[in-house]
Structure 1
Amino acid sequence: MKRIRSVVRGVGSYLPRRKLTNQDLEKLVDTSHDWIVQRTGIEARHIADDDETTSVLGIKAAEAALADAGLRAEDIDLVICATSTPDYTFPSTATMIQTGIGMTHGAAFDLQAVCTGFVYAVATADKFLQSGSHKRALVVGAETFSRILDWNDRTTCVLFGDGAGAIVLEAQEGEGTSSDRGVLTSHLRSDGRYRDKLYVDGGPGSTKTTGVLKMEGREVFKFAVGMVADVVQDAFKATGTSPEELKWFVPHQANKRIITASADKLGIAPEKVVITVNRHGNTSAASIPLALDTARKDGRIRDGDLVMIEAIGGGFTWGSALIRW
């Protein structure tokens, strides 16, 4: 039976001008390049300057995605920005991206699911497009996590970076099979009991401050590897596909050890895993679209490829989406 699919028309990304290497961090906190690489796989990350707000990064990524799609702002009728570091409490960063690209119609809103935000945003946009209410969606993941780090805490400040990525999704009619181009299925989960494992200790409704990131690293590692399995396996089951048919696995880029352990548990071959955490660090909701853009630009992801995206974030939240490129 024919059905509407959300097809990827374009992808783009943007990284702040300033690059912070592990060697640079050695001068700031008690750490070392070898220690960071051994435990995380991270070698460098980008840090936003004061004039590079989340919306500025998001606008750059959105413009790149539109150019890649061969579309203009007037062709888009929905903007969703996944972020945990908005420019302001309100208005939404999405509305600022909307204005920044010259779009004055349609709808724009933010979505907050921390590192799983981009997967949640893709799933949400897909529902809008499937319903017929909208034709094309700009889905952005943009973060300036450097603003919420304790730069004296060597266990967390070495992990995160800033950046933005975006994709353009377009409603197109498919045959209703796993051979269709577009988002084939998405699966989202959350469990708020684990809030203390990864959180920010502030907010306008509690401390009236921004707060800084707090994390129990070992616990997050354990849950990250264990929790993602269900949503990935559900995606294969829902589409009648298998890890063998998967062309590319593009997980949230939090930690190389988490990525490789998750792929191994799921039976996904190492050569199918896209890893960019070494260059970007953990950019939260921006990490998956940054990785997608990298793999698309270097020729790995091609039209027709079966691509799995997945993530786990604070809350905990986690989710997956299976996409035929």
Structure 2
Amino acid sequence: MRKTFHSIIAGTGSYLPTRVVKNEAFIDADFFDGEGQRLDKPGAEIVERFAQITDIRERRYATPDQVASDLAFLAAQALFDSCPTTDPEQLDYLLVAHNFGDITETNRRSDFVPSLAARVKHKLGIQNPHTVAYDLPFGCPGWLQGVIQADYYLRSGDAKRVLVIGAETLSRVCDPHDRDSMIYSDGAGAVLFEARETGPDDEPVGILSHGSRSDTVQAAHLLRMATSRNPAYTGDELFLQMEGRKLYEYALKTVPQAIKDCLDKAGLGIADMSKLLIHQANGKMDEAILKRLYGLYGDTPAPAGVMPMTISWLGNSSVATLPTLLDLITRGQLAGSTITPGDVIVFASVGAGMNCNAVVYRVPSE
């Protein structure tokens, strides 16, 4: 009889950059709209309105001597430091999700060669040539897509241990003249998945279901790289830009249904969901997604604390938001949020592509 495996979380780690940037740092910025017109409102008013819309009050930036692969390595190191019996040499795969490679403070060009995964494996000193290291660019849902790939490896019996890291330095691709630049931040999170053999009478645990979608015909360029919004800007860099309203509408239409489809696939309902760990993209948008999700099940109100948030003090660090959130909860460092055996955790993310995905995970009892 063929063995059955489920993908179990065996360890977590994260790295939060030490540089804290509060909203007040942007009050004197010259912001321009999409037509290149200077915003004529006072800076303090622009910043306060931004905080009301996004819930973001501060964020973390990497220090000038750090790049994304450094943050990824530090997150992985934190994981292995907390799991001293886990040998990095026994990893079958090491996946790093990111979107911009390594970008230095002084030369803001993306560096992808060698891959960030290869750099992290090198920094960890892993000698095993069969620890396959590769990168995954998939927009903000990249880390969760890496988890989905890990699940395929582990369920097939091809792998026993897969490390999935999300790392980004969005501060290096921010247009200083775009108010949306206040959304972005830097960070890294790492999660180790292991294959657990289960018998025919065992309750399914670990990853129970997942789903992904890519909507490129109308939505491919809602997030894109472009020149500065300031027509007088003399640099030739490309910066991250987004069509905020259309992105909001896409997320609100797509993410709740993706979560419900994933719960349906697992044979579960909304009442079975203990926690929704959602990509920390925009506080108000995530709240709207939660409300729309519960609306798909009738008039059921969302329980208090079901969707823990970090965006108010960590901002949007793209692929790092989910693994960082998970690590903070796992380590008891997020007030009011805990994960206990038997809990059903739903992960969900949306971002450039446009891509959207979700994963349903049941916490093992041991």
TM-score range, shorter chain: over 0.9
Alpha carbons of 1:297 and 1:312: their partners in 2 closer, same or farther (altered >3 Å)? Answer: same
Match of 2:354 in 1: 316
Which runs of no fewer than 5 residues in structure 2 stay unpaired?
A: 31-42, 103-110, 228-235, 295-301
- Residue 57 (structure 1) aligned with residue 84 (structure 2): no
Q: SS at 1:49's partner residue? A: coil
Cα deviation code 1:280-324 (max 9, x no counterpart): 111101111111112222261223321100011011000001111
- The percent of aligned pairs where both chains have the same amino acid is 30
Contact between 1:136 and 1:171, CA under 8 Å: does it hold in 2?
yes
TM-score, structure 1 as length reference: 0.93
Match of 1:206 in 2: none
Structure 2 letter corresponding to 1:307: I
Distance in 2 between residues matched to 1:320 and 1:287, nearest whole Å: 14
The correspondence for 2:210, drawn from 181, 186, 196, is: 186
- Residue 24 (structure 1) aligned with residue 25 (structure 2): yes
Match of 2:249 in 1: 222
Alpha carbons of 1:134 and 1:246: their partners in 2 closer, same or farther (altered >3 Å)? Answer: same
Match of 1:99 in 2: 122
Alpha carbons of 1:69 and 1:210: their partners in 2 closer, same or farther (altered >3 Å)? Answer: farther
Q: Summarize the alignment of residues 175-324 of structure 1 with structure 2, pairs less than 5 Å apart.
A: 175=199, 179-193=203-217, 194-201=219-226, 211-267=238-294, 268-298=302-332, 300-324=338-362
Match of 1:68 in 2: 82
Q: CA deviation at 1:177?
A: 8.3
Distance in 2 between residues matched to 1:42 and 1:61, nearest whole Å: 23
Match of 1:169 in 2: 193
Count of residues in correspondence between the two structures: 318
Alpha carbons of 1:176 and 1:228: their partners in 2 closer, same or farther (altered >3 Å)? Answer: farther
Alpha carbons of 1:137 and 1:177: their partners in 2 closer, same or farther (altered >3 Å)? Answer: farther
Match of 2:169 in 1: 144
Contact between 1:178 and 1:239, CA under 8 Å: does it hold in 2?
no
Alpha carbons of 1:55 and 1:305: their partners in 2 closer, same or farther (altered >3 Å)? Answer: same
Q: CA deviation at 1:181?
A: 2.6
Distance in 2 between residues matched to 1:234 and 1:76, nearest whole Å: 32
Structure 1 letter corresponding to 2:182: V
Match of 2:60 in 1: 46
Cα deviation code 1:250-280 (max 9, x no counterpart): 0000001111111111114342111111111
Q: SS at 2:305's partner residue? A: helix
Q: CA deviation at 1:36?
A: 2.2
Larger Rg: 2
Cα deviation code 1:13-34 (max 9, x no counterpart): 1011211011122243535542
More displaced 10-residue stretch of structure 1: 28-37 or 294-303 = 28-37
Contact between 1:46 and 1:161, CA under 8 Å: does it hold in 2?
yes
Contact between 1:66 and 1:168, CA under 8 Å: does it hold in 2?
no
TM-score, structure 2 as length reference: 0.83
Which runs of no fewer than 5 residues in structure 1 stay unpaired?
A: 203-208
Cα deviation code 1:78-135 (max 9, x no counterpart): 1001100212222110111111112122101000111111110100111111111111
Query: Going by fraction, where is helix more abundant, 1 or 2?
Result: 1
Q: CA deviation at 1:175?
A: 4.3
Q: CA RMSD in A?
A: 1.9
The correspondence for 2:48, drawn from 27, 34, 59, is: 34
